[in-house]
Structure 1
Amino acid sequence: MQSDSSPATKPFDYLIVGAGLWGCVFAHQAVKHGKKTLVVDRRGHIGGNTYCENVEGINVHKYGAHIFHTNDKPIWDFVNSFVEFNRYTNSPIANFKGELYNLPFNMNTFYSLWKVKTPEEARAKIAEQVRQADITDPQNLEEQAISLVGTDIYHKLIKGYTEKQWGRKATELPSFIIKRLPVRFTYDNNYFNDKYQGIPIGGYNKLSEGLLEGSEVRLGTDYFANRKELEALAETVVYTGKIDEYFDFRFGSLEYRSLRFEHQLLDQENFQGNAVVNYTEAEVPYTRIIEHKHFEFGTQPKTVVTYEYPQEWTQGAEPYYPINDTRNDEVFRKYKELAENESNVIFGGRLAEYRYYDMHQVIGSALKRTKVLFQS
């Protein structure tokens, strides 16, 4: 790339492909350092999967629940500099054949399961079931989970949900997917241990809009359909899309799990009394129901709920969760080698790096990359 002292030969310093969180943060930091940025996205909105649609005054998370949480105060301060976050605490409920349990596994869960009231009783119950299972060397996810939390928790709260999520039997899934399970011997329903947690007041779009201030944004623009023309506009490409697509699937497609969402506007004030209810039995085809108004303590007369259905990823579907097994990791390694040899191209984000990121990790990754790039 040209030095700052050289005359610019193109109207933009950076062409940022993808208006998701990684691309938005990169754009903000680039503009902050005096760079000209063009952001393009094939979708008709900014924010990637954090995008919210306002329905009857309710900010609907169109691509599934997004709950911000972090222990990193600089990142928490960073996002709050664009939009104030509320005090929402994620406390999901699990529904197993009409029985309700608190998540993560804690004393409330254990009381509902076994009527135990003390941590000592709960520990003893779990230890007894683990001992009876007699699994010394877990060979798959089922054995790993039972060896950690026993049979009751596994069969009611893990097995059905996990098999729906991955589309495979738990006995066919590798044990490393569940290396550990959060078990609390306190009456605490807060799902996350992070110090900072909340939802942007007014929705995530305010965060994306703040990050993109000063950038030119072109939506409904397919980078691959207009690649030559777009690349002619900028000195450097910042690519946040699927890395295999960038290289025209040279080594084959990387695999993902995908999701399908069914949104419903209901003419009632309160459908389930909680933002997130997981359905852990195998017979229910969806994994959870989201009631969006509870993210912002809404009092609207109507409500919007979303049924979340896991599904296999196919071309054209949205890729959500990378399947980081041996085959896919080897294919990604080949693409990564190609990426490292590209000139004037920066790869970043969950799709370009083929890894699952929480939101604070996406932001941290983009901030780290720009800090090195702009030496600040």
Structure 2
Amino acid sequence: MYDYLIVGSGLFGSIFAYEAGKKGYKCLVVEKRDHIGGNIYTKEVEGIQVHEYGAHIFHTSNKEVWEYIRQFAEFNRYTNSPIAYYKGEIYNMPFNMNTFNKMWGVVTPGQAQEKIAEQIEKFGVEEPKNLEEQAINLVGKDIYEKLVKGYTEKQWGRRATELPPEIIKRLPVRLTYDNNYFNDCYQGIPVGGYTQIIEKMLDKTEVRLNTDYLEEKEQLDKISRKVVYTGPIDAFYEYKYGELEYRSVRFETEVLDEENHQGNAVVNYTEYEVPYTRIIEHKHFEFGTQPKTVVSKEYSAPWKRGDEPYYPVNNERNNLLYEKYAREAAEEEKVIFGGRLGRYKYYDMHHIVAEALKCAEENL
């Protein structure tokens, strides 16, 4: 018998297993994929740590979370400073004084504010009824059309005029020349990739790969006193109330025989006509100087059963549906639901660390 059966070897499940192990509990981790680590899994290619499931930059303002994750790896000083490519033009993200200078030639924060206010007055509407109107009301027409419209439509698979205004409640407008995307105190990438972190967390825990819990549920439940489930909550309940919606992501990764392909780790492609949303050049996460480089084109895609669910679509319909599953989950005596899929909520890595530690504290 195991004290805890942990479904999924991503960050949430691995932290719970590590904390349970420290307290003497016997755990079994089952993982559907052929590797541990969930979406933060990294693999070495040509001496470069490749983020197999998209760019993962650890950032937090929670000192306790930062100190906790750093016990498993040394972190470098990487700062997320993505750039946007639009029809041969390059802009800094998020929108800051470098963006506004390139867009309009303005130099001071006052000039930038005037230009944005002028565009909002000219093109804005009193009561935005869709994402397009909401975005123009926040940043004006130029920034919306070049840096928001195409990217957002690719991300969601629908035209901006068909998307609700709530999706873009606010757009960050920084009146400084700071290209740092995050406002957090702590930020970096683990030197040598993320997989080592999960390996250390699961070092003393039994792990079974290529094991689909839902297909072997009856047998696995018999050998465990409690279950920590980090898979999709609707799948756990066999979609009895209906399917929750997700967006998925598809990657095209290739090794290039060149030292430096795009000069930055992340380049967003904001025009609709370019089918991918961004290109990641992995070596720049660790300031690599290898003779070759590895790049991944990222395509946003609709989700269907059998695909990897990445982003919950937290609109009104899905949130109401999730509440039905959540009410049932709250009644479970043996099962704990956690993680992005188990709680149908978008979490960054630092949120997951905090949530997993809280869960461990409440249940161990």
Structure-1-length-normalised TM-score:
0.96
Question: Aligned to 2:298, what secondary structure does the other structure show?
Answer: strand
- Alignment-derived partner of residue 122 in structure 1: 112
For 2:234 and 2:170, how far apart are their aligned partners in 1? 31
Q: Are 2:50 and 1:60 equivalent residues in the alignment?
A: yes
3-state DSSP class of the match of 1:53? strand
The separation in 1 between residues aligned to 2:65 and 2:95, in whole angstroms, is 28
Query: Deviations along 1:69-118, whole A, 9 cap, x unmatched?
Result: 00000000000011011100000010000100001100100110011111
Match of 1:317 among 303, 307, 324: 307
* 2:129 aligned partner, one-letter code: Q
- Equivalent residue runs for 1:336-351 within 5 Å: 336-351=326-341
| DSSP-derived class of the 1:105 partner | coil
Tell me which residue corresponds to 1:282.
272
Deviation at 1:136, TM superposition (A): 1.5
Q: Distance in 2 between matches of 1:38 and 1:232?
A: 13
1:267 pairs with 2:269: no
Q: Cα deviation per residue 1:296-336 (whole Å; 9 max; x = unaligned)?
A: 00111000000000010011111011111121111111111
Residue type matched to 1:289 in 2?
Answer: I
C-alpha distance in structure 2 between counterparts of 1:121 and 1:334, whole Å: 50
C-alpha displacement at 1:134, in angstroms? 3.6
- Asked if the contact 2:124–2:133 (Cα under 8 Å) also holds between the matched residues in 1, the reply is no
| Deviation (angstroms), 1:133 | 1.6
Offset of 1:352 from its aligned partner? 0.7
Q: TM-score, normalised by structure 2?
A: 0.99
Residue 342 of structure 2 is aligned with which of 349, 352, 360? 352
**Which letter maps to 2:341?**
L
Letter of the aligned partner of 1:205 in structure 2? T
CA distance in 1, matches of 2:215, 2:243: 19
Instruction: State the Cα RMSD in Å.
Output: 0.8
Rounded Cα–Cα distance in structure 1 between residues aligned with 2:170 and 2:283: 32
SS in 1 for 2:112: helix
- Residue-by-residue CA offset, 1:106-163 (whole Å, 9 max, x unaligned): 0100110011111111110001001112412111111111001000000000000000
Unaligned runs of 5+ in 1: 1-9
2:153 is aligned to 163
Which whole-Å deviations, capped at 9, do the CAs of 1:250-283 have from their partners, x for residues lacking one?
A: 1111110111000010011000000000000000
> Which residue of structure 1 aligns with residue 214 of structure 2?
224
User: Following the alignment from structure 1 to structure 2, what is the Cα–Cα distance between the partners of residues 366 and 138?
Assistant: 38
Q: Is the contact made by 2:93 and 2:179 (CA closer than 8 Å) also made in structure 1?
A: yes
Name the CA distance, whole Å, in 1 between partners of 2:345 and 2:285.
Answer: 26
**Greater Cα offset, 58-67 or 133-142:** 133-142
Match of 1:33 in 2: 23
Aligned equivalents of 2:115 and 2:81: distance in 1? 24
SS of 1:315 mapped into structure 2? coil
Distance of 1:27 and 1:74 partners within structure 2? 19
1:207 aligns with 2:207: no
Quick one: distance in 2 between partners of 1:227 and 1:219? 15
Equivalent AA in structure 2 for residue 53 of structure 1: K
SS across alignment from 1:132? helix
- The aligned amino acid for 1:89 is T
The 3-state SS of whatever aligns with 1:235 is strand
Matched, 1:89 2:79: yes
CA contact 2:79–2:188 (8 Å) conserved in 1: yes
